[in-house]
Amino acid sequence: MTRTILNTSAKSSKQNKSTKKTKRNTQMHVVMYLFLILFLCMMGNFAYYIQFNSTEDVNNSYNTRQEKLEIKVLRGKILSEDGQVLAETMVGKDGSETRHYPFGELFAHVVGYSTKGRYGVERSANINLLTSNAYIGERISNDIADEKNIGDNAITTLNVKLQQIAKDALGIYKGAIVVMEPDTGKILAMVSNPGFDPNYIVSQWDELNAETTSPLINRATSGLYPPGSTFKIVTLLEYLRENDSPEDYRFNCNGRFTFDGVTINCYHGSNHGSEDLRKSFAKSCNSSFANIGSELNYDKYKRTAEELLFNKDLPVRFNYRSSSFVCNDKADTEEKLHTAIGQGKTVVSPLHMAMITSAVANNGVMQKPYVIDRIENYQGAVIKQYKPDDYKQVMTEDEASFIKDYMISVVEEGTGSKLSGLSYSVAGKTGSAEYNDQKGDSHSWFTGFSNVEDPDIVVTIIVEGAGSGSDYAVPMAKRIFDAYYQ
């Protein structure tokens, strides 16, 4: 009897020890897995930093590494797509270095400057320009001789001919022009007026900052404007998403639309008569689109706008300001109706409008815009090649096709008719955006693309205070399209 009790007690002791050992093993496994997860998270964060944030941090003006590189490396060149010099460092007989911009004001905003801070390509490619990938033997020899190595060159996507034509087209007007490839995101031209000559940025810095016209601001990326009727592209997209039979839409325009005590007038009081949806878009009828706006779900409308990157960060690696869409179902009638025609509190940059237009041209896929095509060492060897990168499908192919067809109608029978009958085809949308309480004060807009079956380029134009988009922005766009196909 006693032996049995002892055996039972021994078995119980062994079981307790086994249970404790199992618990310890489990705890150890839990700790091990926690450390493994933590390690993987750290590695993931590090990889993300290297991919997305490392260049930004290195290019930060507070990073002292740049000063060390400037002592050892002669800043590389910035070149156009065909190899013309847009920025270079000239070395005087006394060894002094001067950053020189051969085209003066022409590329001021997009190429930028490298003194008084950095801006444009000078900023985004800064670490590349201050890094030398010359052959190792040459670098060792220069280090021994205490001579500077030659920095790498940044070859851009910029086209000198199109940049000059865009600059000439804008003329004396304040505003901006963006020219880009819709299927790649390559920016071929980017102009902002008024401008400045980066060769004199140091001596004119105080004067430039004091000017009320803000010549240092790149209006193409950081100028925010009411989009006017160009925003009817977004309104049309939302209407398509909320209605299964858009071809059934009918409206009789007598020059104005009143709803809930709020009246919206057509531009210059135009009377468009009986309209379907296509004609409403082609003629840019404010009354008809205000009528559409009275029926929309504005919470859904806002989601659509945000899918097109309103209120969001743009997928670009240069300075910009985010566009804004604030209207929702709680807004009053006046705000809703004005939003539907591109007025109200909605603002957009020319770059962003070009991206939306590119998505329409590119079967609903928005590309990430870029300005730097590749990095080469000074002897021409490619160090890094940048490639087109999809942002995402922001609208379906059917939606893009529908909107494209309506943008064709703007040129064939509407406000963009000055672009019809050419050797190439164009689809687009005009806009006349009121910006203050003075009747008739409007910014002139155009956004569109050429060779509509297989689009080549997107052109987006804003002309501050000029008036009608069809009278001012459209002729400018024609000059750019013509130059591209010559």
Q: 409 vs 229, 305, 457, CA distance in Å? A: 15, 23, 18
For residue 176, how many C-alpha atoms fall within 13 Å in the half-sphere facing its CB?
Answer: 24
3-state secondary structure of 136: helix
**Per-residue confidence band for 49, with pLDDT thresholds at 50, 70 and 90:** very low
Helices (H) and strands (E) in the chain, counts: 18, 19
Phi, psi of 107 (to 5 degrees): -110, 20
E strand or H helix that includes residue 89: strand 85-91
179-206 average pLDDT score: 97
Whether the pLDDT of residue 52 is over 60: the answer is no
pLDDT in tens, 256-283: 999 999 999 998 778 899 999 999 999 9
pLDDT at res. 466: 87
Higher-confidence position of 378 and 269: 378
Tokens 């016209």 identify what position?
A: 213
418-424 average pLDDT score: 96
Both tokens of residue 162?
Answer: 């199109």
pLDDT at res. 38: 76
**Per-residue confidence band for 54, with pLDDT thresholds at 50, 70 and 90:** very low
pLDDT at res. 64: 53
pLDDT at res. 67: 67
CA distance 439 to 50: 52
E strand or H helix that includes residue 175: strand 175-180
CA distance 241 to 292: 13
Both tokens of residue 373?
Answer: 């095509």
Describe the chain by its helix, strand, coil percentages, rounded to 5. 45, 20, 35
pLDDT at res. 17: 58
Q: What is the mean pLDDT of the chain?
A: 90
**Per-residue confidence band for 110, with pLDDT thresholds at 50, 70 and 90:** very high
pLDDT in tens, 308-356: 999 999 999 999 999 999 999 999 999 999 999 999 999 999 999 999 9
Report the percentage of the chain scoring pLDDT > 70. 88
Whether 451 contacts 428, CB under 8 Å: no
Q: 76 vs 99, 133, 460, CA distance in Å? A: 10, 11, 31
E strand or H helix that includes residue 90: strand 85-91
pLDDT at res. 369: 98
Nearest CA to 341 out of 434, 449, 474, 222 is that of 434
Nearest CA to 106 out of 184, 154, 182, 169 is that of 169
pLDDT at res. 399: 98
- β-strand pairing of 442-450 with 426-434: antiparallel
Both tokens of residue 9?
Answer: 């007690």
pLDDT at res. 442: 87
3-state secondary structure of 242: helix
CA distance 378 to 91: 16
pLDDT at res. 454: 97
E strand or H helix that includes residue 458: strand 458-463
Both tokens of residue 83?
Answer: 């190899």
Q: 310 vs 295, 305, 325, 351, 416, CA distance in Å? A: 21, 6, 6, 12, 26
Nearest CA to 228 out of 259, 266, 256 is that of 266
For residue 444, how many C-alpha atoms fall within 13 Å in the half-sphere facing its CB?
Answer: 21
pLDDT at res. 434: 84
Nearest-10 Cα torsion for 468, 310, 156, 455: -60
pLDDT in tens, 139-172: 999 989 989 999 999 999 999 999 999 999 999 9
pLDDT at res. 13: 60
Both tokens of residue 119?
Answer: 């801006």
pLDDT at res. 272: 92
Whether the pLDDT of residue 418 is over 60: the answer is yes
Higher-confidence position of 25 and 119: 119
Q: Taking the chain, what is the end-to-end CA distance rounded to the nearest angstrom? A: 111
Whether 228 contacts 467, CB under 8 Å: no
Whether the pLDDT of residue 50 is over 50: the answer is no
3-state secondary structure of 73: strand
394-416 average pLDDT score: 97
pLDDT at res. 6: 47
Whether the pLDDT of residue 5 is over 70: the answer is no
pTM reported for the whole predicted model: 0.86
pLDDT at res. 187: 98
3-state secondary structure of 438: coil
Nearest CA to 448 out of 249, 433, 414, 293 is that of 414
**Per-residue confidence band for 62, with pLDDT thresholds at 50, 70 and 90:** very low
* CB neighbours of residue 169 within 10 Å: 21
Give me the helices (H) in 113-231, please.
121-124, 126-129, 136-144, 160-170, 205-210, 219-222
Of 32-41, 239-248, 440-449, the least confident: 32-41
Report the percentage of the chain scoring pLDDT > 90. 78
